[in-house]
Amino acid sequence: MRENEMPEVVVSVDVDAPTEQTWAAITDWERQGEWILATRVRRISAARSGLGTEIEALTGIGRLGVRDRMRVTEWDPPRRCTMEHTGRLIRGRGIFEVTAHPGGSRFAWTEALELPFGLLGRVGWPLVRPLTRWGLQRSVNRFAAFAASYRTTHPR
């Protein structure tokens, strides 16, 4: 991997729900912890959705975890949302995309990451990538069930 190259991890899942319902489930920031493995999420901006919305995720077990701050930089409902990771450790882009699919929709999640720790991060990425991909795929698989039964609890 070249020094300026951002590695990507892409996972996806078919969802037994229309695109609008899938979109609403994905962008219910405070409930993302129900489907993203070992993660708690809270909104830190006044805006509930749209450009500029900011959230913070804490991924880990117990008191050990990684804090990830994000800001919505692209908002095209119900198709695409891009989040910019703005934390010290996690930087890059997360992209949620929803497309119509026979019988429902398809959700794709892309993470394009700036690897931390310079050369050590680039050398370590081949070891970390499979675990990252596994965790994201497990999360989107959980999301499929979450979205299929999703009901909004507040106006969007």
Does 156 reside within a domain?
A: no
Joined tokens for residue 125: 């990425």
The answer to whether the Cα torsion of 150, 132, 64, 66 is positive or negative is negative
In this structure, what DSSP letter does residue 63 have?
T
Strand order of the sheet with strand 104-114?
Answer: 8-15, 104-114, 91-101, 80-86, 64-76, 54-61, 39-43
Does 94 reside within a domain?
A: yes
What's the total number of domains in the chain?
1
Please report where in the chains the tokens 């979450």 appear, as a residue.
146
Report the chain's mean pLDDT, rounded to a whole number.
93
Does 44 reside within a domain?
A: yes
Does 154 reside within a domain?
A: no
- Region class of 37: left (phi > 0), else alpha (psi between -120 and 50), else beta: beta
71: domain CATH number is 3.30.530.20
Angle made by CA atoms 44, 46, 49, in degrees to the nearest 5: 90
Supply the range of the domain harboring residue 90: 8-148
Phi, psi of 73 (to 5 degrees): -115, -10
26-41 per-position pLDDT tens digit = 999 999 999 999 999 9
> What is the reported pTM?
0.92
For the cut 70, the answer to whether the pLDDT of residue 155 exceeds it is no
Mean pLDDT of 53-79: 94
Angle made by CA atoms 59, 34, 86, in degrees to the nearest 5: 40
Joined tokens for residue 14: 């078919």
What is the identity of the amino acid at 61? I
Does 140 reside within a domain?
A: yes
For the cut 70, the answer to whether the pLDDT of residue 154 exceeds it is no
For the cut 70, the answer to whether the pLDDT of residue 98 exceeds it is yes
Q: Is residue 44 helix, strand or coil?
A: coil
- The radius of gyration computed from the CA coordinates of the chain, to the nearest angstrom, equals 15
